[in-house]
């Protein structure tokens, strides 16, 4: 049983598959999981487990003199995940906002759609809107990286964050 659990952890759910980025990310928990599995089958003694626990507590004790910087959950900045164009809505520290209407109004493919009154579902519309969407996403990503922002969202969607910069002009310049 131990060898089957080990092979599933190393190879993912399918033992015949190669290791993916997702399964490699899970590898950070592999040591803890192996200790628990080995203890379950009796491969480790209590002294081994106590020794490892002591080493872990010494590591955390080294940072005991640093002041804890905990932010209460209700005081953290929040954002509507559907309004995020770049980054992770659940984990961000340096957000920025963008006026999407102003950016879309500057995209040449979108201007052509509006000018020619193209209807959704037509081949030309679909090709142009896909290209416009790609240009929007690329410009937002480049502006975010240039400004070192870890989140870009629609204007007004970031709550409880002081001084969220508007990078609309930067995004338009990168189109």
- Name the nearest CA neighbour of 171 among 111, 106, 108: 106
Q: What φ, ψ does residue 40 adopt, rounded to 5°?
A: -65, -35
Among positive and negative, which fits the CA dihedral 107, 109, 114, 115? Answer: positive
pLDDT at 36: 42
On whether the 73-173 domain is CATH 3.30.910.20, my answer is: yes
- Indicate the average pLDDT of the chain: 75
pTM above 0.85, yes or no: no
CB atoms closer than 10 angstroms to residue 170: 19
pLDDT tens across 94-131, in order? Answer: 999 999 999 999 999 999 999 999 999 999 999 999 99
27 falls in which pLDDT band (50, 70, 90)? very low
Kindly state the average pLDDT of the residues 135-151: 98
Query: Residues of the chain with pLDDT > 90: what percent?
Result: 55
Q: How many CB atoms are located within 10 Å of the residue 69 CB? A: 5
Residues of the chain with CATH 3.30.910.20: 73-173
Comparing 58-62, 100-104, 125-129, 140-144, which segment has the lowest mean pLDDT? 58-62
Q: What is the mean pLDDT of residues 15-38?
A: 44
């Amino acid at each position: 049983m131990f060898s089957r659990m080990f092979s599933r952890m190393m190879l993912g759910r399918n033992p015949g598959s190669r290791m993916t980025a997702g399964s490699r990310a899970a590898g950070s928990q592999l040591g803890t999981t192996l200790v628990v599995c080995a203890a379950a089958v009796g491969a480790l003694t209590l002294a081994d487990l106590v020794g490892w626990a002591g080493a872990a507590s010494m590591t955390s004790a080294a940072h005991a003199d640093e002041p804890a910087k905990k932010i209460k959950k209700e005081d953290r900045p929040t954002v509507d995940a559907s309004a995020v164009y770049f980054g992770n809505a659940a984990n961000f520290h340096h957000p920025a906002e963008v006026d999407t209407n102003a950016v879309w109004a500057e995209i040449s493919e979108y201007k052509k759609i509006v000018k020619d009154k193209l209807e959704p579902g037509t081949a030309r519309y679909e090709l142009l809107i896909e290209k416009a969407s790609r240009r929007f996403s690329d410009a937002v990503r480049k502006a975010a990286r240039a400004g070192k922002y870890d989140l870009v969202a629609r204007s007004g969607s970031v709550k409880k964050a002081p001084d969220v910069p508007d990078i609309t002009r930067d995004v338009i310049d990168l189109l």
